Amino acid sequence: MAWIFDHSWYAQLRIDPASVDTSGNPQRVDEVRTVAHAHVCAVQPTAFPQSQLVALNQDLAAFLGASTTPSAPHKHGPETVHSDLVNWVTGATWMDAHPPLAMAYAGHQFGQWAGQLGDGRAMQIGALIAQDRQSYALQLKGAGPTPFSRRGDGYAVLRSSIREYVASEALFHLGVPTTRALALVSTGQPVARDRYYNGHVAWEPGAVVCRVSPGFIRFGHFEWFAAQGADDLLRSLADFCLERYFPDCAQADEPYLALFQTVAERTLNLVAQWQGIGFVHGVMNTDNMSLLSETIDYGPYGFMDQYNPHWTPNTSDRPQGRYRQQQQGQVAIWNLMQLANGLFPLVGQAAGFEQVLAWAQEVWPQKEADVFVRKLGLPEGADQDRALIRSLLVWMEQAQVDFTDFFRQISSLHRPEDLVQEHWSPSLIDQWMAWWKDYMDRAAYWGVTHEDRQRVMLTRNPRFVPRNHHLERVIQQATEGNWHLFHDLMRVLADPMNSELEDPYGWAQPKPFDAADTALSCSS
Ligand code: AMP
Ligand code: MG
């Protein structure tokens, strides 16, 4: 199979003329600049003489048009017959006749307007028409400076690149919308980082992730052009997105409002799905919110161990906890309000946006509860079941049960006594027994038998999620050049509901009760 390129990004977005020289090659990046008069800048990836492909997503590569590599021992082994692919993801050659592109966008970070941000270390190298006949953009993250690099160096470390690669594939296999990971490249060029933001700077191995999505368009794109009063660029970007991603909205009476409504609904659905798997994004700034409602920009994220709605994996967000688990829905709505401000100049009146935002407030608690109702193997939509969930979550917090393990265990539980833990107080046990009885009553009300419940719940409650302490082990070993644990973790994450998979490394085991939390900052 041959590659089919999609050149429309170059034709339809405005490229900053200052970013190319007279022969069409990207200018060297000498300084950071404000880009309010174009959508994108042409950029050149850094050449890394020592770079090495360390992981390649064989299935995704085939989906994008690569011929499969039957000899690859692992689904993410770096073996490939496609020198094209290696050349593209290492930045050795351009994907097509055009240079890579870094995009202009802005955003609100931790509730504050941050002005221009942009792709400071990401660049889109091209787009391919895949087996589903849709177009997918390929983006390198960590391939060097761009005009948006601000104070950063444009590079990324191996640990954060592994974390992005693993989690994005994990969410994909859990059925949660996400950007995907195609390849991981070790650059051979060390990067200096203050990992814990404590003034201690150390050299770490550098890496590049090649990630894939129909489009890396963020809420912050619209915020930027609206804030600059660049209405023509705002409109052409919105029209580009309508045509490519929201053809139904393009036909509506008020296309931009229809776009907003669709994005609002999909964003709430996405975040509800996060809640259902205990995923905390950690940095829900508006520049990290995808217009396509995919999970994007994996940084200090985490899958909850013990259920704690106040938890955030991001130590840079403690003690405030703006992005803690419990807040993710409200934050999504706040971010949607910023997107509304970004789209406002195209519509000129606020009432339609306000209506959608009021609708979002109203439906969020139900959407969130319904995800858990499904996890219990019950049909969605009834208030009694939503109430059952709320009391369960209150109890889970007190009982400090492991989020993933608890739902997996009750999927096949017959007798509530069998789950009781030694350290539970008598009152916790009483509440648990009473809750179970209510649950069984609701199951009986719907005519859900134990067999139905078990069958359904074992497809809705994962056995395997990439917990932060697992990732620590994988990263440590990979840093020493050994990718064994990485491949084994990827193996189980590709089939997260499977009860039969062997688990020699204990990926399904909850974190020991007294083990310390993994400390994660935004340093990456
Ligand atoms: P993030 O928190 O990773 O989503 O990044 C927020 C903003 O900072 C984005 O505009 C990034 O492009 C930029 N950024 C983060 N790390 C770097 C880096 N090492 N070099 C340049 N820009 C960066
Ligand atoms: Mg980001």
Q: Which residues surround ligand 2, an ion (CB under 5 A)?
A: 288, 297
Contacts of 245 (CB under 8 A, 6+ apart): 214, 215, 291, 292
Contact 107 CB / ligand 1 (< 6 Å):
no
Q: How many CB atoms lie within 10 A of CB 482?
A: 11
Instruction: Convert 9-37 to b/e letters by CB count within 10 Å (16 or more is b).
Output: bbeebbbbeebbeeeeebeebeebeebbe
pLDDT for the residue numbered 517:
85
Which of 71-75, 242-246, 356-360 has the weakest average pLDDT? 71-75
pLDDT score of 484 more than 80: yes
160-180 pLDDT tens trace:
999 999 999 999 999 999 999
Q: How many A from CA of 287 to the centre of ligand 2?
A: 6
Give 324: exposed, middle or buried? Use CB within 10 Å, 0-12, 13-18, 19+. buried
Most confident of 26-30, 40-44, 77-81: 40-44
379-429 pLDDT tens trace:
999 999 999 999 999 999 999 999 999 999 999 999 999 999 999 999 999
pLDDT for the residue numbered 318:
86
Q: How many A from CA of 153 to the centre of ligand 1?
A: 9
Closest CA to 352 of 253, 223, 462: 253
- Under a CB-based contact definition with an 8 Å cutoff, are residues 182 and 75 in contact? no
Helix or strand holding residue 390 (H, E): helix 383-399
Give dist(CA 285, CA 292) in Å, integer: 15
Listed in order, strand segments (DSSP E) in 118-193 are 122-129, 135-141, 156-157, 180-186, 191-193
* Angle, CA 465 vertex, CA 460 and CA 471 arms, to 5°: 175
Contact 153 CB / ligand 1 (< 6 Å):
yes
pLDDT for the residue numbered 70:
59
Q: Tokens representing 320?
A: 């405030």
Contact 299 CB / ligand 1 (< 6 Å):
yes
pLDDT for the residue numbered 19:
96
Share above pLDDT 70 across residues of the chain, in percent, rounded to a whole number: 99
488 is catalytic: no
What residue type is assigned to position 420 of the chain? V
Give dist(CA 165, CA 173) in Å, integer: 13
Mean pLDDT of all residues in 277-294: 98
pTM score over 0.85: yes
User: Tokens 């939509």 sit at which residue?
Assistant: 381
Give dist(CA 61, CA 330) in Å, integer: 37
Contacts of 436 (CB under 8 A, 6+ apart): 416
pLDDT for the residue numbered 289:
98
Select from 109, 113, 121 the residue to mutate for testing ligand 1; criterion: most ligand atoms less than 8 Å from CB: 121
pLDDT for the residue numbered 69:
65
442, HSE (Cβ side, Cα atoms, 13 Å):
23
Mean pLDDT of all residues in 500-522: 91
Peptide bond into 319 cis (omega under 30): yes
113-141 pLDDT tens trace:
999 999 999 999 999 999 999 999 999 99
Contact 154 CB / ligand 1 (< 6 Å):
yes
Give dist(CA 318, CA 341) in Å, integer: 28
Q: Model confidence at 1, in pLDDT bands (50, 70, 90)?
A: low
Decide: helix, strand or coil at residue 87: helix
Q: In the predicted model, what is the mean pLDDT of the chain?
A: 96
Give dist(CA 152, CA 204) in Å, integer: 15
Decide: helix, strand or coil at residue 119: coil
Q: Tokens representing 342?
A: 């970004």
Which of 6, 16, 119, 287 is an active site residue? 287
Beta bridge partners of 26: 20
205-244 pLDDT tens trace:
999 999 999 999 999 999 999 999 999 999 999 999 999 9
